Amino acid sequence: MAESDRGEGLAGRYFDAAIALLREVRDAEGERITEAGRLIADTVAAGGRVFAFGAGHSSLPAQDTVYRAGGLAVMNLLSVPGVVGVDVRPATLGSALERVDGLAGAVLDTSPLERGDVLVIISLSGRNALPVEMAINARALGITVIGVTSVGYADATKSRHSSGTYLKDHCDVVLDSRIPVGDAELTLPGIDAPFAPASTVVTSAIMQAVVATAAGALAERGVQPPLLRSGNVDGGHEWNGRVMREYADRIFYRH
């Protein structure tokens, strides 16, 4: 097989794998996605706030919902310095911080989160101390926790939290991304490691599905969802300015 044919074949295989995972999540997690969206709608309608957190690459789907055209203006990122994305050097520091006991408590104690708010915690493995403690501490504070994780990791890995538990064990709603352990969809003779992760594609789709459900649930109640428009269409900035003024007390990414 020619090198270009191998490349095109791998691209197709990757798309097929990602699409299969998306279909699996749609069919298996639909009810729980609806439940999560309605929890967010309940919170918005009651005047509460919504935050999303993820460490490392799990932060990408969280960031994808914040200050986003077509998204809810009240989605906020709970940021932990050194952990959000791979913006620190060495990048391995972020992975190390995920395993630090006590960090989650310090973050929540200094965050704007209050009783009655919603916190979405994204962690592919759900095994590290930071997401586990984040969920435990948040629920103790009266915050509703939605977890987005691959439940399969609990059967194939050892928890890195002292309790021996995983993120999935401390959530009001768990959304299973169904990502296989190792997060790599492709293999090929001559390449020693599996490759082509799909967790960001799938988890971002889950997050957008939850937000869409929340918007629809608000509309069902006669509440206009606080959606943002693209700033690249005429009138977009004016629309967004009005929405942000109306919900200024629940938007934290502007301060």
pLDDT digits (tens, 9 = 90+) for 13-48: 999 999 999 999 999 999 999 999 999 999 999 999
In this predicted structure, what is the pLDDT of residue 242?
97
In this predicted structure, what is the pLDDT of residue 93?
65
In this predicted structure, what is the pLDDT of residue 91?
72
The residue whose two tokens read 């009783």 is 115
3-state SS assignment for residue 215: helix
Phi/psi at 140 (nearest 5 deg)?
-65, -25
pLDDT digits (tens, 9 = 90+) for 85-143: 677 677 776 677 777 677 888 889 999 999 999 999 999 999 998 999 999 999 999 99
CATH code, residues 3-250:
3.40.50.10490
pTM above 0.75, yes or no: yes
In this predicted structure, what is the pLDDT of residue 102?
76
